[in-house]
Structure 1
Amino acid sequence: MQPAVQPGWSQPPRCGLYNPRFEHDACGIGFVAHVEGRRSHRVLEMGLEALRNHAHRGAV
């Protein structure tokens, strides 16, 4: 695995809940949400589609 921080790029400093010590590659991450926090069948469908699209990465 390659380090998340590439040469010539500096991480932001530790702030609140963020700690650069825990940075790692985020390949294979999916997140779906309604901007206003509403529940909807469409959001559920999009989440399931994202999961299917990551199956080749062992997500299921």
Structure 2
Amino acid sequence: MANDVLQTKIDKATKADIEIFSNLTLDAIEEAKKLAKNSKAKRYSFARELLDDCV
């Protein structure tokens, strides 16, 4: 059921929606690369640790 809803949203996405998502995804990847090179950046062993820091 949830997959059907998600697929419907994907099917109805406009080109602008897709471009915004793509740009945000690429920006996040670039930011992750920068952080990976930064020896002072905090490292997380589990996604839960990251989530806890964000809340």
User: 1 or 2, which has the higher helix percentage?
Assistant: 2
RCO comparison, higher one (Cα < 8 Å, 6+): 1
Give the TM-score normalised by structure 1.
0.29
